[in-house]
Amino acid sequence: MKQGILLLDIGNTRVKAVYWLDGQLTAITDFPGVMPASPVAVYYASVATDERLEQLRSESQLTDVDWHQIRSEAQKDQLRSSYAKPETMGVDRWLAMLGAQQCYPHTELLVIDAGTALTIDHLAADGQHRGGWIVPGIHMQQKAVTNYTARVFNRDQQQFELAFAQDTASCLQNGVFAAILAVIRQANQLVPQAKMLITGGDATVLMPFLAELPIEIEPLLIFRGMTRYIVN
Ligand X SMILES: CC(C)(COP(=O)(O)O)[C@@H](O)C(=O)NCCC(=O)O
- For the question of residue 92 being annotated catalytic, the response is yes
Q: How far is the CB of 121 from ligand ADP (least distance, A)?
A: 15
User: Per CB under 6 A, which region of 5-13, 17-25, 127-135, 145-153 contacts ligand ADP?
Assistant: 5-13
Is 42 labeled as ligand-binding? no
Binding partner at 52 among K ion, ligand ADP, ligand X, none, C-beta below 5 to 8 Å by kind: none
Binding partner at 88 among ligand X, K ion, ligand ADP, none, C-beta below 5 to 8 Å by kind: ligand X
> How far apart, in whole angstroms, are the C-alpha atoms of residue 154 and residue 138?
13
Binding partner at 99 among ligand ADP, ligand X, K ion, none, C-beta below 5 to 8 Å by kind: none
Q: Which of 202, 206, 221, 224 binds ligand ADP (CB under 6 A)?
A: 202
Q: What DSSP assignment string belongs to the chain?
A: ----EEEEEE-SS-EEEEEEETTEEEEETTSSS--SS--SEEEEEE-S-HHHHHHHHHHHT-TTSEEEEP---SEETTEE---SSGGGS-HHHHHHHHHHHHHSTT--EEEEEESSEEEEEEE-TTSBEEEEEEEE-HHHHHHHHHHH-SS----SS----SS--SSHHHHHHHHHHHHHHHHHHHHHHHS--S-EEEESTTHHHHGGGGTTS-EEE-TTHHHHHHGGG---
The answer to whether residue 143 forms part of the interface with ligand ADP (CB under 6 A) is: no
Is 229 labeled as ligand-binding? no
CB burial of 20-37 (b: ≥16 within 10 Å; e: otherwise) equals beeeebeebeebbeebee
Q: Which of 22, 92, 121, 202 is catalytic?
A: 92
The answer to whether residue 200 forms part of the interface with ligand ADP (CB under 6 A) is: yes
Q: Which is nearer to K ion, 70 or 172 (CB)?
A: 70
> How far apart, in whole angstroms, are the C-alpha atoms of residue 70 and residue 84?
19
The answer to whether residue 12 forms part of the interface with ligand X (CB under 6 A) is: yes
Is 91 labeled as ligand-binding? yes
The answer to whether residue 117 forms part of the interface with ligand X (CB under 6 A) is: yes
Q: Which of 4, 39, 99, 115 binds ligand X (CB under 6 A)?
A: 115
Site string for ligand X, 72-101 (x = CB under 6 A): ----------------xxx-xx--------
The answer to whether residue 139 forms part of the interface with ligand ADP (CB under 6 A) is: yes
Return residues touching ligand ADP (CB under 6 A).
11-14, 115-116, 137-139, 200-202
Give catalytic residue positions: 92
